[in-house]
């Protein structure tokens, strides 16, 4: 899922980018409205975060231009303004949501995740025609971004879903580290080896009954992992 973030404050821009990249999203950064519009046409992102007060073109103008080209792509406005009229204008221009600055990381993550669920449903990014796949004693729901064990709901990120999908596709086979890198991060991005280990460790803590003795994701030393 590609997210275009248009924000002229580089600290906010880089902070949001780092956060969302860790969640598994591909981030496209723009420092003003003009660049945002150019990047939208170039990359066709799946979701857009727009600051309202930007140089070159403000967020309202960018939103208006994008809506002439694409009526469906989700748009979230960010603004230091807290006037009702600003929210009304944004929503009337076709924005899906509106957040005031300063905002909390958890709130941003929750709103992005809600949009991600809608995106996944619309794109049908699942392994089969089923709504879920079985991963050991878990039912994993890719379009809902969670797994379920009996009545327990386990929230997952996009990247964690991709790791489980890859291991599921090669059930009972060894999945090398390179295979996981290619499937989860893609050919254009190669994280360091420690990044994968950290994701697997975090995922085990979420889905394994006893993370110290994993049964769902087993380590094959020197090679990779197996489900």
- Quickly state the pLDDT bin for 129 (edges 50, 70, 90): very low
pLDDT, average across residues 63-67 = 92
- Quickly state the pLDDT bin for 17 (edges 50, 70, 90): very high
Tell me the domains of the chain and their CATH numbers. Answer: 2-124 (3.40.50.2300), 133-226 (1.10.10.10)
Q: What are the C-alpha distances in Å from 188 to residues 43, 48, 179, 182, 191?
A: 15, 21, 14, 9, 10
pLDDT, average across residues 92-117 = 80
Q: For helices 33-43 and 59-69, give the axis angle rounded to 10 degrees.
A: 20
pTM above the 0.75 mark? no
Judge if the upstream peptide bond of residue 6 is cis by omega within 30 degrees of 0. Answer: no
Tokens of 167: 């291991």
């Amino acid at each position: 899922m590609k997210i275009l973030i248009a924000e002229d404050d580089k600290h906010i821009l880089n902070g949001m980018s780092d956060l969302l990249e860790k969640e598994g999203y591909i981030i496209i950064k723009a420092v003003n409205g003009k660049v945002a519009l150019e990047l939208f046409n170039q990359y066709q992102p799946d979701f857009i975060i727009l600051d309202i007060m930007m140089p070159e073109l403000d967020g309202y103008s960018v939103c208006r231009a994008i809506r002439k080209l694409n009526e469906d792509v989700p748009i979230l406005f960010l603004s230091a303004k807290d006037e009702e009229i600003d929210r009304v204008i944004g929503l009337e221009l076709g924005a899906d949501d509106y957040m005031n600055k300063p905002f909390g990381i958890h709130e941003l993550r929750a709103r992005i995740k809600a949009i991600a669920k809608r995106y996944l449903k619309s794109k049908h990014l699942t392994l089969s025609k089923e709504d879920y796949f079985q991963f050991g004693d878990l039912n994993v729901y890719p379009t809902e971004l969670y797994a379920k064990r009996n009545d327990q709901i386990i929230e997952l990120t996009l990247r964690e879903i991709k790791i489980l999908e890859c291991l599921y596709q090669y059930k009972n086979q060894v999945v090398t580290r390179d295979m996981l890198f290619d499937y989860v991060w893609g050919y254009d991005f190669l994280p360091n080896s420690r990044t994968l280990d950290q994701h697997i460790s975090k995922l085990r803590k979420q889905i394994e009954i006893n993370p110290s003795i994993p049964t769902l994701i087993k380590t094959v030393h020197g090679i990779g992992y197996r489900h």
